Amino acid sequence: MKRLVIIIFDAAGIASALIIAAAVRFDANIPPEELKLIMLSMPAVIIGKLVALMLFHCDQWSFKYAGSMELRRLLAALSLGSLLGWAFTYLVGPDGTSRAVLLLEPLFSLFLLGAFRFGLRLLPDRIPAIAEDQPGARKVIIIGAGDAGVITLKEIRRHPNSDMVVVGFIDDDPKKHGLWIDGVRVIGGRNEISSAVKSLSVDELIIAIPSAGGETIRELIDACREVKTRFRVVPGLLSIIKGTVTFSRIREIKPEDLLGRETTEIEPELFRKDFDGKKVLVTGAGGSIGSELCRQLNYSGAELILLDHSESAIYSIDSELRSKGHGKIISFIADLRTQERIEEIISTEKPDYVFHAAAFKHVPLMEENIFEAVTTNIIGTKNLAESSFRHGVKRFTFISTDKAVRPTSVMGATKRAAEMWLFSNDWERVENKMSVSAVRFGNVLGSSGSVVPLFRKQIESGGPVTVTHPNVVRFFMTIPEAVFLVIHASLLGDLHDLFVLEMGQPIRILDLAKNMITLAGLRPETDIPLRFTGLRPGEKLYEEVLTDGEDVSPTEIKKVFRIGRHNEISNDFPKMFDELIANARPGRNEVLKELICRIVPDFHPDLMRRE
């Protein structure tokens, strides 16, 4: 229907151009005999130009994105159309038609048809000549024929060393199929990707859909799994809005792009009013979460107190932060289990805020090292929180985990026990008040325990890529995003608050492995074998975010939710907790495990879920 409307408008424009040309030729006083000849010639002129316009696809434009290429096509079409129109006129038209009128008509046709097509364009097009016939150029298809796709097309053409030529768009909007956008045709939807890559000998796909979530990207990868084609992606929506999309920022797809969630833009400067000049203690400062906490808090103007028991880890983050030249930094090597040392540090430094990220977190290792898990994850938390309260800390934030929800592992159960102990205590007295909050979230990409670096290493070595179970699923977040939301949550806490971060849909680990192999330009099972190793001790097939009786409510921060009814703790909890502390000695693993089961009623160490 749209194409028919365009053809009708074109025909009307050509007819009008012919009349205007005659009016100009005869000073607006067209003799009747000349008018009759012009009317008899008009069908030949219109048919000739319409044929040429169709040959150059001028009836299939996306007017919103009409640019220099469309202008060139229009000029070429009208030039050819004029030749055809003249030929038709002299072959089948009446004799005596004014040559001056026929020569003037193309100018007015160009004006009228161009005004019709470019009327929606408010900004001039500034794209230079396009070397679409450049020898040796890599052929590219842009996925997404919206604003980001057009910006990407123009940026590729503008860049002199791109060595790329865009041969088509892919877009799921059926209204765009068949349109020409600045000289590039919209081939079809994502179901056409595989055939288009083969028929056009495409070397690369560029995903230009800023709103694309992990599910969309995974579907695009699935559509091209059998075609060995390179993938890249343009930056996010904020970069589009700011106008900072450049050719150099079109990057490789990263594993975090595969997440089933929209990631949050990280802006640590937002916290400056809350942390500027404040003393902030970060435990586990050398770890994945702790070090990112230090980076973002450092940009927020905080005076940082770094604490870790690993000399090399804390040296690394200390050196990195000092090289940035931001704020005051002091570092301590200490073990949370040594109460006197923790008391010494906090009484001397007197931090305003504490972020407790230190923990033993590797699930299978903690199954065999229960004493270490109990003394670090539970007793270490107790030592730190009590000292913090005694010395005037205002906010204490405990980094928890989704593995604390109906735990099947010692690691998850010890983190849940620490949550319960924190919320069973009174942190408000006449002389002091400490806001205590805990934040749960899932796995983070790129941490020392993440499968992503493991898969990447296995792919680089030629495989096999090992997956524990074909049905195992996990929640994932990027480290910067998780930390950014944790800092937000810490500022919301009031006495006893438990938060959970929105983590999107769980990711099937087998799919993640296959997609990472595909992104490497290889084929799962064909180029890189997959091997199932079985669930390890303490692992379960899926993770949860809530225990029985808990519910969530939104907060003023997007993707941060408050968990309700988490204070329902047994009256026997203090007695059982003291018994656990008393038995926290080497060689008593089984006793400690039994006591944890009593303290955390929903701890099921022998249960593997969804087998």
pLDDT 10s digits, 26-85: 777 787 877 777 787 788 778 878 887 777 776 676 655 566 666 777 778 777 877 777
- The DSSP output letter for 303 is E
Alpha helices (H) along 396-549: 410-424, 451-460, 479-492, 509-519
Pairing of strands 279-283, 353-356: parallel
Residue 460, CA distances (Å) to 221, 450, 469, 486, 518 in order:
20, 17, 22, 34, 13
Do 358 and 400 meet the contact criterion of CB atoms below 8 Å apart?
A: no
The pLDDT > 70 percentage for the chain reads 80
Pairing of strands 476-478, 530-532: unpaired
- pLDDT tens across 433-472, in order? 899 999 998 877 766 667 777 888 898 888 899 998 888 8
In the predicted model, what is the mean pLDDT of the chain?
81
pLDDT value of residue 535: 83
pLDDT value of residue 583: 93
- pLDDT tens across 274-286, in order? 998 899 999 999 9
Backbone angles phi, psi at 289, to 5 degrees: -75, -45
Q: How far apart, in whole angstroms, are the C-alpha atoms of residue 10 and residue 480?
A: 54
How far the first Cα of the chain sits from its last, in Å, is 54
- What six digits make up the tokens of 563? 């968990």
- pLDDT band of residue 265 (cuts 50, 70, 90) is low
Q: How far apart, in whole angstroms, are the C-alpha atoms of residue 61 and residue 585?
A: 77
- What six digits make up the tokens of 39? 């009317």
- pLDDT tens across 292-351, in order? 999 999 888 889 999 999 999 999 999 999 988 767 899 999 999 999 999 999 999 999
- pLDDT band of residue 596 (cuts 50, 70, 90) is very high
Mean pLDDT value across residues 477-489: 89
**Largest alpha-carbon pair distance within the chain?**
116
Mean pLDDT value across residues 523-533: 88
- The DSSP output letter for 375 is I
Return the CA Rg of the chain.
34
Q: How far apart, in whole angstroms, are the C-alpha atoms of residue 255 and residue 586?
A: 40
Residue 464, preceding bond cis, omega within 30 degrees?
Answer: yes
Q: How far apart, in whole angstroms, are the C-alpha atoms of residue 485 and residue 268?
A: 10
Do 231 and 221 meet the contact criterion of CB atoms below 8 Å apart?
A: yes
What residue type is assigned to position 608 of the chain? Answer: M
pLDDT value of residue 490: 93
- What six digits make up the tokens of 606? 């022998």
Q: How far apart, in whole angstroms, are the C-alpha atoms of residue 293 and residue 268?
A: 10
Q: Is the pLDDT of residue 412 over 90?
A: yes
Q: Is the pLDDT of residue 609 over 60?
A: no
Mean pLDDT value across residues 474-484: 84
Do 434 and 393 meet the contact criterion of CB atoms below 8 Å apart?
A: yes
Do 424 and 574 meet the contact criterion of CB atoms below 8 Å apart?
A: yes
Residue 532, CA distances (Å) to 194, 463, 515, 590 in order:
29, 12, 16, 30
Q: How far apart, in whole angstroms, are the C-alpha atoms of residue 452 and residue 175?
A: 39
Q: Is 1 strand, coil or helix?
A: coil
Q: Is the pLDDT of residue 128 over 60?
A: no
Q: How far apart, in whole angstroms, are the C-alpha atoms of residue 487 and residue 357?
A: 12
Going from the N-terminus, what domains does the chain have, and what CATH number goes with each? Answer: 2-118 (no CATH), 138-253 (3.40.50.720), 268-443+476-504+544-599 (3.40.50.720)
- What six digits make up the tokens of 599? 């303290």
pLDDT value of residue 337: 95
